[in-house]
Each structure stands twice: as structure tokens, then as C-alpha cells.
Amino acid sequence: MFFDPNEEYLMPVFFGPIPRKVIGRKYNDVTSIIVSYLTDREQLAKYIPAPFEVGELPIITVSYACNKGVEWLAGRSYNLIGVNASVKFKGKEDQLEGALTLAMWENLTDPILTGREIKGIPKIYADIPDHQISNGQWRANASHFGNQILKISADNLTPLSEKDIAEAKKSMQGKDNWMGYKYIPNPNGVGPAVSYPTLFPSENIATEVWLGQGEVHWEHLSWEQNPTQFHIINALADLPNLGVIYTAVTKGTTELEPAGKLIRELK
């Protein structure tokens, strides 16, 4: 058999499986800006496919991450901004609470391809420079084709103690499931060749946390400004911000698929 059914492949497949499988999946230096806000339940529900449901509270969380020391990239770095919705998954076998990624922008092709085609996380490209800190305010942004998509900021930050960090992590156990939706169209682009929800286990270990006040500002763009993404950006921009409920800046590490907890299809 030309292709080993027990290996991971990406296009072009002719040169063998992807070699990073034997290398760690740890991100050794991750700095994040996180802002969560309430939105309208009915409007959010339009973008949540069954058997997902909007969570107990209709929350959108926008997270910027500066990922450095990425083991599977031989220590290189990349940045991302993800948009997650609080959800419940009510399948025939799986019953979970967590976050469904609606869109994730990244500034490097390699994690986009692996995360989207293999893992089912809806990733797309954007220019995302490293965050900036000025007068105590942390800021990050994303743009594409020279037009800004969104910006996120946090200020008036107060550090958490180690005890508070540990208690916050404990309170999230069982509710921190990261979920996506794997969709690959047929060769003619019409209809799915693959279509199912996924669970992507990961472990975020924060060593430093600051809480404060945050903002997320979305742009509305035209087809001419961003022909491949304007409909995504405008849909997210039109979800009303009914009040920021959580803002944090964190530093720590991230490990994908920790302790052999592999990504899987949700059922």
C-alpha cells in the first residue's frame, strides 16, 4: 500500500507522512489577550449547527495568542486571533459544554492547514503582528489585503495570585472543551465530502494572569476590501456586544492533544 493508514498525511501526499508526529506538540511561550462579551442568543444561534446549542449564556470570546517556542515548528512562532462561542454539544453519545470556534485567523500557512484540514478548526489567514503594550494597555489586531478586520485591547490590569489562578482553572474543569467542525467539500465544491463536529483536546497552563477591562472592535468590510472573508467578518461584527464580562492577559504554555487525548469526531 502506498499510503500508510496509520500515518498523518497532508497534500502533497506523495512524499510520505508529516514528520512532526514524533515531535512534541507543546507551545512553550504563549501570551494571550482574551475578551468575552454577551451577545444576542437568537442571532448567535444562526451560526451554531445542530447538535450544538448556544450555551447557558450567549458568550463570544475573542482571543489573541502570540505563540513562541512551538515544538512542531522547531521552535518558531506564529500569532492567531480566534472567535469562540459558548456552546453545549448534545449528541447521541457525547454531552459536552465548551467553546465552538466560529473562525480563527492565523498568520502562518502551516498551522492553518493542519488545524483546518485535519483537526476541523475553521482557520483562515490574516496579518497579525505581535501585540503592543503602551501605558499599561495591551493591544493586538488582524488585517488582510491591507484592511483591518478587528482589534482587541485590555487595560487597567490587576495580577491574580497563584491561588486564584489555580481556583479559576479548577472551576473550568469539564467546561473547557474546545470544539470545531470539520467540513471538506466535494471536488466540484458542492456538498460535503466530509462533515462532522470535532473535539480538540488541549491544555493551557497559565503561570501569570492579569484581569482588567477590555474591548473588541470589528470593522465592516466590502467585497472589494476583502473578497474572500468579508461575509465572515461582517457576520461576526453584526453580533451585538451586549457588555464585556471578562478580560484577561495571560502568560504560560499550551499543549495540543496532551497525554494521548487525541482529537476525535463528536457523535
Determine the 3-state secondary structure of 53 from DSSP.
strand
* Percent of the chain's residues with pLDDT above 90: 80
The residues, any chain, with a CB within 8 Å of residue 215's CB and separated by 6 or more, are: 35, 152, 153, 244
pLDDT at 107 over 90: yes
> What pLDDT digit, counting tens, does each position of 110-123 carry?
999 989 988 999 99
The CA distance from 129 to 174, in Å, is 33
Return the closest-CA partner of residue 235 out of 34, 42, 44.
44
What residues have CB less than 8 Å from 102, skipping those under 6 apart?
47, 83, 84, 85, 122, 236
Asked if residue 141 lies in contact with residue 151, where contact means CB atoms within 8 angstroms, the answer is yes
Q: What's the CA gap between 166 and 179, in Å, rounded?
A: 23
Q: Tell me the longest C-alpha to C-alpha distance in the chain.
A: 60
pLDDT exceeds cutoff 80 at 232: yes
266: cell is 463528536
Residue-wise pLDDT for 174-228, tens only, equals 667 999 999 999 999 999 999 999 999 999 999 999 999 999 999 999 999 999 9
**Rg from Cα positions in the chain:** 18
**Number of Cβ atoms within 10 Å of the Cβ of 50:** 9
Q: How confident is the model at residue 89 (pLDDT cuts 50, 70, 90)?
A: very high
Closest CA to 103 of 267, 247, 242, 229: 229
Question: pTM of the full predicted structure?
Answer: 0.94
Dist CA 104 CA 25 (whole Å)? 19
